[in-house]
A = this chain, B = another copy of it.
Amino acid sequence: MTQITRRTAALLALLGPAIAKAAGRGDARSSTSATVQPKEGLEMTLRSTGNEKIAIVIYDHMTALDVIGPHYFLARLAGAKVEFVAKSLEPVACENGLVLLPTASFETCSKDLDILLIGGGTAGTLAAMRDAATIAFLADRGSCAKWVASVCTGSLLLGQAGLLRGYRATSHWIGRPLLKDLGAIEVNRRVVFDRNRATGAGVSAGLDLALALIQKLRPLEFAQTMQLLAEYAPEPSLRAGTPETAPPPVLAEARKLTAGFVSSAREVARSAR
C-alpha cells in the first residue's frame, strides 16, 4: 500500500461509516461503505497505523456500557477493523431496552483475532456462561487471539471458557470472588494485565482497560490524543464506586441485589471444573 492509501484507509477507519445511512439494515451495519466528509470529521495526520482484527462479543441482556466504552478507543485504532460479534446476526437486546446490531456472527468472525473482548452483566452473563456455543466460541478464538480481554463479569465468561486458568485477573467486584472457582488468581485492581490477558473491573472500568490496551498497540501520543478527544478526565460527584468506599448500607443493598446472580454463577463455575 502506498503511504497515501494507507493514510486514507486509516482516516476512513477513524471516521467510521457514512453519515448518510443507507435505507436498509444491510447498509447501516456495513463499516466499509463510507462516504465520508473529511473536512467535517476528524482530520488526523496518522503517524501510526495497524491492521488489527478486533472482535467485541455481544450477547443478550448484557451490560452494553461494558463494551461501548472500550469500543470508543479500539475503533479509533487507525487501520484496525472492529466487529461486534454475536451468535447470529439478529439484533442483540442488551439490558434495559438497548438494542445493538452485530456486524459478524460466531461463524463469520475472523479466526485469527488480535483482540477478543467481552463484557459482562448479570442474568445475561449467567445465560451466556451456560451456553455451550458461546463458551466454545470464546475458547476457540481466545486460544489464539493476541489479546484476550474482558470488562466486568465478562471475565467469568473467559474463565468458563478455560481462558483464565493460572492467570491473574479481575472482574466486577461481585464477580471477583468467583474467579478462583474458574482457576484464575483474583486481583483487586481496576485493570489487570497478565501476559496477554487483560481484565477490567465493573462496567465503567472498560474505559480504563481500553485506554491501557491501546497504549500497548500504539505510541503514547496516540493514546493521549484519544484520551483528550474522549475528554476522559472523570469527576464522579459521589465516592461510592467501590466496596471499600461505598457507605456500608449501600454495599449491603448492592450485595443483596446481586446475591442471586453470585450464587448461580458460582454454581455454574464449580460445575464446570
Contacts and interface: CB of A to CB of B under 8 A. Distances in A.
Interface string A72-98: 100110000011100000111111111
A97 B72 contact: no
B100 A99 contact: yes
Interface in A102-152: 103, 122-124, 126-127, 152
State how many copies of this chain the complex holds: 2
Given A260-B38, A261-B41, A75 B100 contact: no
Interface string A229-273: 111111111111111011101110110111111001000000000
A25 interface: yes
A230 B208 contact: no
Contact of A260 (B19, B40, B232, B245): B40
Interface residues of A, number: 108
A241 B233 contact: yes
A250 B221 CA distance: 7
B71 A260 contact: no
Nearest to A122: B41
A228 B207 contact: no
Given A101-B99, A240-B224, A93 B61 contact: no
Interface in A5-30: 13, 15-21, 23, 25, 28-30
A230 B225 contact: no
A240 B232 CA distance: 8
Given A45-B256, A90-B28, A40 B204 contact: no
A192 interface: no
B228 A246 contact: yes
A196 interface: no
A191 interface: yes
Given A16-B95, A99-B28, A123 B41 contact: yes
Contacts of A60: 19-21
Most chain B CB within 10 A, of A39, A91, A249, is at A91
Interface of A: 13, 15-21, 23, 25, 28-31, 36-45, 60-61, 63-65, 68-69, 71-72, 75-76, 82-84, 90-101, 103, 122-124, 126-127, 152, 172-173, 190-191, 201-205, 207-208, 211-212, 215, 220-221, 223-225, 227-243, 245-247, 249-251, 253-254, 256-261, 264
Instruction: Give the 7 A-B CB pairs with smallest separation, nearest first.
Output: A202-B231, A233-B241, A31-B97, A16-B96, A75-B96, A224-B240, A99-B101
